[in-house]
A and B are shown apart, each in its own frame.
Chain A
Amino acid sequence: MSKDLKFLVVDDFSTMRRIIKNLLHDLGYPNVAEADDGKTALPMLQAGGFDFLITDWNMPGMPGLELIKAVRADAKLAKMPVLMLTAEAKREQIIEAAQAGVNGYVIKPFTAETLKEKLDKILGGGK
């Protein structure tokens, strides 16, 4: 599987973005860009060049769920793999995220193994 994939990590906390970026780097994905909410992320995604979106849910401006809905509604982005990485753990929310079209859902706090497992599953899932 190609390690040249370009990731966009969306989280309002810079420390969390840095942690995810570090983990992706350790997993062999050095190509990572960051955005601090959906409003910043969407134009970056629309400008093209990204292969994978990792987003938080609870963010000021545009929350993650809205970003995912916008991504799925955009013909150019509709098929992009999306992993939601969030502290939101209500069952109804997880169902809502699944309905919005996430490819994976990881709750915080998470481990490096969980992130790896979900990425492998999504990327190896023949998307």
Chain B
Amino acid sequence: MSNFQVMKLEYGACVDALSEALRAGDETAFFTAVDHIVRMREPATLTEIRRLTGDLQKALERFSIESRLADIAENEIPDAKTSLAHVIKMTDDAAHRTLDLVEQSGPLAERTGREAAALIDSLKAYRERPSGGSGFEGAVRSIDAFLPVVRAVEAFLPAARTDSDTIRRNLADVLLAQGYQDLTGQIIRSVIKLVVELEETLANLTKLSGDIVEHTTLGESPDKGHGPVVPGVTRGEVASGQTDVDELLSGLGM
């Protein structure tokens, strides 16, 4: 039996009772029949109201999610892109600054080492020189032989002091150049926060629409490379280190 046929039977009886009461002029019976009809209609009306309220609530939620998404897309994603570009610039600057200082210090350390080695050789040659004889003349020869060593030491010490001062200053600057990590860390953390919010907002939107979102992957060629291994993110078999790579390649006959 269809819904309408059921309604026809139920309401038909009430309408019959209503017309009977009218015909008989029975006021009590008339109002009883009217109340009955109203009560019968109530659940359907309530269901309808409930459905409308639900739809309205969903529409409002959707509106709020969509306006947040629009805000994220219009303002926060471009800001995040700029922030990340700034992170690259900061790490790049710090790396170059560090390389500058290392390149500057290397030759200084090398020079000090080289000149110290030359001094060691000179001292050794002095100690191992053939005897200059005894007496006053021998002492004079000995002093004469030692004079170039003294001059070399005199030239070496101030230069070594200046060079080691410069190296120490450079090392302090290398230390300072690492300060970027604090700043980039904060920026990256704020971008992670945005990504988490975006993920939650999209998940809520998907739940609300009840749509099934199919998993899709960016169709990028594997030739492009995947970038560095990120623990917990990179999938598939990954070489654990250079030894692993070497073993794999030697297994391939390389």
Contact = CB atoms under 8 A, between A and B. Distances in A.
Interface residues on B, range: 20 to 34
Interface in B224-245: 224-229, 234, 236-239, 241-242, 245
Interface stretch (A28-36, A45-53, A58-66, A73-81): A58-66
Given A18-B96, A95-B248, A58 B227 contact: yes
Interface string A100-118: 0001011110100010000
A2 B228 CA distance: 34
Given A89-B238, A91-B239, A107-B239, A65 B223 contact: yes
B224 A63 contact: yes
Contacts of B236: 90-92
Contacts of A123: none
A87 B228 contact: yes
A95 B102 CA distance: 36
Contacts of A93: 222, 225-226
> Most chain-B Cβ atoms within 10 A of its Cβ — which of A19, A65, A87, A94?
A94
A105 B225 contact: no
Contact of B225 (A18, A65, A95): A65
Given A88-B226, A89-B238, A105 B99 contact: no
B96 to A, nearest CB: 6
A114 B99 contact: no
B242 to A, nearest CB: 6
A86 B225 CA distance: 10
A127 to B, nearest CB: 13
B245 A89 contact: yes
A107 B245 contact: yes
A51 B14 CA distance: 102
B95 interface: yes
Interface string B162-194: 000000000000000000000000000000000
A19 B100 CA distance: 11
Contacts of B92: 13-15
B99 A94 contact: no
B237 A91 contact: yes
B97 to A, nearest CB: 10
Contacts of A40: none
B254 interface: yes
Contact of A15 (B99, B227, B252): B99
B103 interface: yes
Contact of A87 (B102, B229, B252): B229
A57 B225 contact: yes
Contacts of A108: 228
A53 to B, nearest CB: 17
B46 interface: no
B237 A15 contact: no
Nearest to A114: B242
Contacts of A57: 225
B218 interface: no
Interface in B93-149: 95-96, 99, 102-103
Interface of A: 13-15, 18-19, 22, 57-59, 63-66, 86-96, 98, 103, 105-108, 110, 114
Given A15-B96, A91-B239, A93-B222, 6 more contacts: A19-B99, A22-B103, A59-B225, A88-B227, A90-B229, A106-B245
